[in-house]
Amino acid sequence: MKKLILLLCLYAGALQAQSVDSLISAGIKLHDAGDYEAAIDTYKKALAMDSKSFLIYYEIGFSYSALNNHQEALKYAELSLSFATQQSRLHPLILKGSALDDLGRTAESVAFYKEALKEFPTHYLLLFNYAISLSRLGNYAEAEQVLIQALSHNFNHPGSHLQLAKINLEKNHKSKAALGLYFFLMLENTSARAEENIPVLINLLYGNKKTSDDNKTIYLTVPDPKNDPEWASADLFFSILGIASGQIDQALRDKGAAQSEQQRFVADTEKFFKTLGELRDKRKKPKKKKAEQAFSIWWDNYIPFFSELVKQNHTEAFCYHIMAAANSTEVNEWLMNKEEKLSYFYLWANSNR
What interhelical angle do 70-83 and 90-102 show, nearest 10? 160
Q: Which of 348, 346, 337 is nearest to 311 (CA)?
A: 348
Q: What are the φ and ψ backbone dihedral angles of 19, each rounded to 5 degrees?
A: -65, -40
Where the chain has pLDDT below 70, the residues are 1-18, 208-229, 242-259, 284-294
pLDDT at 15: 43
Q: Which domains does the chain have, with CATH numbers?
A: 22-151 (1.25.40.10), 155-353 (no CATH)
Model confidence over 158-194: pLDDT tens digits? 999 999 999 999 998 999 999 999 999 999 999 999 9
Model confidence over 222-275: pLDDT tens digits? 555 555 667 877 777 777 776 665 555 555 554 555 568 899 899 999 999 999
pTM (two decimals):
0.85
Amino acid at 303: I
Q: What are the φ and ψ backbone dihedral angles of 66, each rounded to 5 degrees?
A: -65, -25
Burial (CB < 10 A; 0-12, 13-18, 19+), residue 199, is exposed
